[in-house]
């Protein structure tokens, strides 16, 4: 007897890959048999979702995210994980299975010496920049990129070991052990700050006694504020993390010029994999993002071909004046991206409690950008299809020969993303075909 839909959806998030695979197969079987009705895909996209291989606030695995998109009727979905490519194969295969347009990426922090005196998109850290690669097609990189990927993982692990040591000293007698308490929270040994927060909250529940008094003292926060938030897991973890780990917190590790990789090093990893370097926008309020045209032109010269935006934090703001200012910044950067031929990769992240499953494209503030958001989503899916199927993605020699400008490539790969049907057999293609012939074959 097939388990219930709810049971299977819970099974999708188990750390056991075989269990996830079977659950997805069973869910797809229910849909194919008519026992489960799925909606038609709507013109919406979330191209920036973290999986549980870095941290997903809802616990979603790659397979679970592919199913979520199909079950909710999201036309396109993209994953992005910190410092690893572990989810790529599973996610893209799951998308094929359920018929969802998918893309896969990686995110890390880099150091930009040209902006060493200016804060960019990592609050309180001048020169440090969250940066991305999108359009990956497999989890295993080519040999020349393996050391770079391993370096990202090792840098993160070293930072977190030091962070845990400092926080243990501050929170004594509450303690966590990195190997015993933190690594088991991850499926493949890639913890993030958010996993560490979860471990400390759990340890305090087991070791502290009076939790309100303990956290009030250790976080230097009024007891009534602790009492108001401690029963709300999401709000409480969002209170604990900055107090312990961000600038001014006891576990904070001030970055040096060599704490994070250079843009050039990260780009070597991305392009070796046939993927696309992607800049990341916060909200336009920092000194670095006030000089966004200078920053984007610098990054374009280093190889950037797209721009990531998290729309919700740029408009869904209670304070009217702050909302007005950030929406204005959002429109400005979107228009600049258009002028610079940088497709937009947008999404909600899902790595913080309270993040939406999908952006509200019908919100008055986002409606003017909906077409650009969808075009960017189709673009990265189109690249993924072409690179994964035939090695003819954006970075290929074929693209450079036949589509010599970013504008031409953007339009072509967006059209591929619209024409290529997820999960359907692909036609035979070769590098001898022209772009128009490729589109004709896809449509045929």
Name which of 137, 138, 141 is nearest 385 in CA terms.
137
Sequence-distant (6+) residues with CB within 8 A of 431 are 390, 392, 396, 397, 398
Residue extents of the structural domains in the chain = 1-37, 38-139+273-437, 151-245
What H or E segment, with its residue span, contains residue 304? none
Structure tokens at 26: 């069973």
Band of pLDDT at residue 414, cut at 50, 70 and 90: very high
Task: Specify the 3-state DSSP secondary structure of 130.
Answer: strand
Mean pLDDT of the 237-250 span: 92
pLDDT at 256: 82
pLDDT surpasses 80 at 2: no
pLDDT surpasses 70 at 88: yes
Crossing angle (nearest 10°) for helices 435-443 and 406-419: 10
Express as a percent the part of the chain with pLDDT over 70: 100
- Give 286-307 pLDDT, tens digit per residue: 999 999 999 999 999 999 999 9
Q: Homologous superfamily of 38-139+273-437 in CATH?
A: Metal-dependent hydrolases (3.20.20.140)
- Give 93-144 pLDDT, tens digit per residue: 999 999 999 999 999 999 999 999 999 999 999 999 999 999 999 999 999 9
Band of pLDDT at residue 444, cut at 50, 70 and 90: confident
Considering only 17-26, 76-85, 249-258, 326-335, which range has the smallest mean pLDDT? 249-258
Distances (CA, A) of 311 to 33, 335, 351, 366: 38, 14, 15, 8
Residue 417: Cβ within 10 Å count:
26
pLDDT surpasses 80 at 1: no
Residue 301, judged by CB atoms within 10 A of its CB (0-12, 13-18, 19+), counts as exposed
Q: Which residue has the tokens 């072409």?
A: 386
Edge to edge, the sheet with strand 42-49 lists: 42-49, 74-82, 101-111, 128-134, 276-281, 306-309, 344-346
Average pLDDT for the chain: 96
pLDDT surpasses 80 at 89: yes
pLDDT at 3: 86
pLDDT at 353: 83
**Distance in angstroms (rounded) separating the CA atoms of residues 357 and 26:** 23
- Give 279-288 pLDDT, tens digit per residue: 999 999 999 9
Contact 384, 102 (CB under 8 A): yes
pLDDT at 50: 98
pLDDT surpasses 80 at 29: yes
Predicted TM-score (pTM) of the model is 0.95
Q: Is the dihedral of CA 13, 16, 20, 22 positive or negative?
A: negative
Residue 422 DSSP code = T
């Amino acid at each position: 007897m097939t388990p219930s839909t709810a049971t299977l959806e819970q099974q999708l998030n188990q750390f056991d890959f075989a269990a996830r695979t079977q659950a997805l197969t069973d869910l797809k079987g229910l849909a194919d048999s008519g026992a489960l009705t799925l909606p038609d895909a709507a013109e919406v996209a979330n191209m920036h979702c973290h999986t549980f291989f870095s941290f997903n606030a809802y616990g979603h695995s790659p397979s679970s995210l592919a199913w979520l998109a199909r079950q909710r009727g999201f036309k396109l979905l993209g994953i992005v994980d910190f410092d690893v490519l572990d989810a790529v194969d599973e996610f893209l295969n799951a998308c094929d299975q359920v018929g969802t347009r998918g893309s896969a990426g990686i995110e890390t922090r880099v150091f930009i010496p040209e902006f060493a005196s200016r804060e960019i998109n990592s609050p309180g850290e001048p020169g440090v920049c969250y940066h991305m690669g999108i359009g990956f097609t497999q989890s295993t990189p080519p040999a020349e990129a393996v050391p770079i990927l391993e370096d990202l993982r090792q840098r993160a692990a070293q930072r977190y070991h030091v962070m845990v040591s400092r926080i243990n000293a501050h929170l004594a007698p509450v303690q966590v052990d990195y190997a015993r308490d933190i690594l088991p929270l991850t499926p493949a040994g890639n913890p993030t700050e958010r996993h560490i927060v979860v471990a400390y909250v759990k340890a305090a529940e087991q070791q502290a006694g009076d939790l309100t008094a303990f956290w009030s003292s250790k976080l230097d926060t009024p007891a009534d504020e602790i009492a108001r938030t401690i029963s709300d897991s999401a709000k409480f973890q969002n209170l604990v993390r900055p107090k312990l780990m961000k600038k001014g917190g006891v576990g904070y590790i001030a970055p040096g010029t060599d704490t994070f990789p250079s843009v050039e090093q990260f780009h070597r990893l991305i392009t070796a994999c046939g993927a696309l370097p992607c800049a990341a926008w916060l909200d336009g309020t920092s000194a670095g993002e006030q000089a966004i045209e200078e920053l984007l032109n610098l990054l374009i010269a280093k190889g950037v071909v797209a721009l990531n935006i998290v729309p919700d934090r740029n408009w869904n703001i209670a304070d009217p004046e702050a909302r007005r200012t950030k929406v204005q910044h959002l429109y400005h950067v979107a228009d600049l991206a258009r002028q610079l031929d940088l497709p937009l990769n947008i999404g909600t992240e899902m790595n913080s409690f309270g993040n939406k499953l999908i952006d509200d494209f019908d919100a008055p503030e986002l409606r003017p950008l909906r077409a650009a958001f969808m075009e960017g989503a189709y673009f990265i899916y189109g690249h993924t299809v072409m690179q994964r199927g035939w090695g003819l993605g954006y970075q290929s020699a074929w693209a450079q020969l036949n589509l010599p400008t970013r504008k031409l490539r953007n339009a072509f790969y967006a059209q591929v993303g619209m024409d290529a049907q997820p999960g359907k057999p692909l036609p035979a293609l070769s590098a001898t075909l022209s772009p128009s012939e490729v589109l004709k074959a896809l449509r045929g």
